[in-house]
Structures are given as C-alpha cells and as structure tokens.
Amino acid sequence: MTIPLRRRGSPCLRARALINVLPAPCSAALLLVTAGDHPITAKAIAYEIGIIDDEHIKANTATVCTGDDIRAIMDIEDEEQRTAAWDKVLAHEQIVFARVTPAHKLLIVENNQRHGHIVAVTGGAATLGRAESFSAHAGLAPKACS
C-alpha cells in the first residue's frame, strides 16, 4: 500500500522524529497517530511511515479507533466497563486514532498515562499550546524536526 503523504511536515513525521531522539530506555516507545483525518487517510499515513504494518494488521494487534468509537466508550456509564473498553483499545501494539477532537486527545493522553506511559504531544501551535492542558509529559514543536 503506497499512498503519497499530503503533508511532508505532518504531525506523524514529527512524532517519528521524536522517537529518533528518545534515550535508549524509551526505544520501545508506542507511537500513536491521532488525527482529525478520515480513518482511511490516517491509516494510510501511519502505514506509509511505518507506524502500522501488515504483520500487525493480520495478527489483529493493530487498530484504527475513531472519534465515534471514543464517544461510544465515554457513553458507557459503568466506570469499570468504560476503563475496560479503553484497556481493550490500548492493548493493541499499533493504534491509529482518526477523526478525533482535542477533547478525545485529552482522553487518549490520560488513559495512556493511566497505563504508566510517558506521553509526548506533537502538532501545530494550537496542539502544543494545549499540551499543558493535555497534561502531556512533553511537547515537540514543528520547527524542532525541520
């Protein structure tokens, strides 16, 4: 599957650059794509830059989770069941989140931190301006990777 990237300076590429500068203990970092793009587009971008691959897709250890999926999870009234639904999504080794809002990104950050993951946020000024409100551990500015 080869679909040309629309934006060479995409947040996905900046996130990949972040992985390249992480210290050795973090080399097994889980890189998640969160995008407002259509699920097919987000998956294609993630596939092209190696964040998601055929092996994991065939083994069902990769997933695309949409904003609608997150809304469905948040509609679960029982907290334990809601947490279990998040855990089921986050159990995948490769995850692409598509059609997500800033509120969804906050939930993604919080649930990854609940699992003990260190979270870095990359994106445009609007996203990075919210990194503190996301409670992310780090933010990666677009200029840092150019």
pTM: 0.72
Q: Strand 138-140 vs strand 94-98: parallel, antiparallel, or unpaired?
A: unpaired
Q: What domains can you pick out in the chain, each with its CATH number?
A: 11-21+29-145 (3.40.50.1000)
Plot region of 37 (φ>0 → left; ψ -120 to 50 → alpha; else → beta): beta
pLDDT averaged over every residue in the chain? 74
Q: In the predicted model, what is the mean pLDDT of residues 63-76? A: 96
Q: In the predicted model, what is the mean pLDDT of residues 67-81? A: 97
Task: Please give the span between the terminal C-alpha atoms of the chain, in angstroms, as a whole number.
Answer: 26
Q: What is the DSSP string of 46-87?
A: HHHTTSS-HHHHHTT-EEEEEHHHHHHHHT--SHHHHHHHHH
**Greater model confidence, 70 or 123:** 70
The 10s digit of each residue's pLDDT in 80-137 is 999 999 999 999 988 888 898 888 888 988 898 898 887 776 655 455 455 455 566 6
* pLDDT at residue 2, as a whole number: 36
Q: Are 49 and 16 in contact (CB under 8 A)?
A: yes
* pLDDT at residue 23, as a whole number: 53
> What is residue 111's three-state secondary structure?
helix
* pLDDT at residue 106, as a whole number: 85
Distance CA 126, CA 23 (A): 27
* pLDDT at residue 113, as a whole number: 86
Does the pLDDT of residue 36 top 70, yes or no? yes
* pLDDT at residue 146, as a whole number: 41
- CA–CA distances in Å: residue 108 to residues 33, 60, 135: 11, 20, 11
**Order of all β-strands in the sheet with 62-66:** 33-35, 94-98, 62-66
* pLDDT at residue 8, as a whole number: 45
Dihedral of the alpha carbons of 104, 9, 16, 60, in degrees to the nearest 10: 60
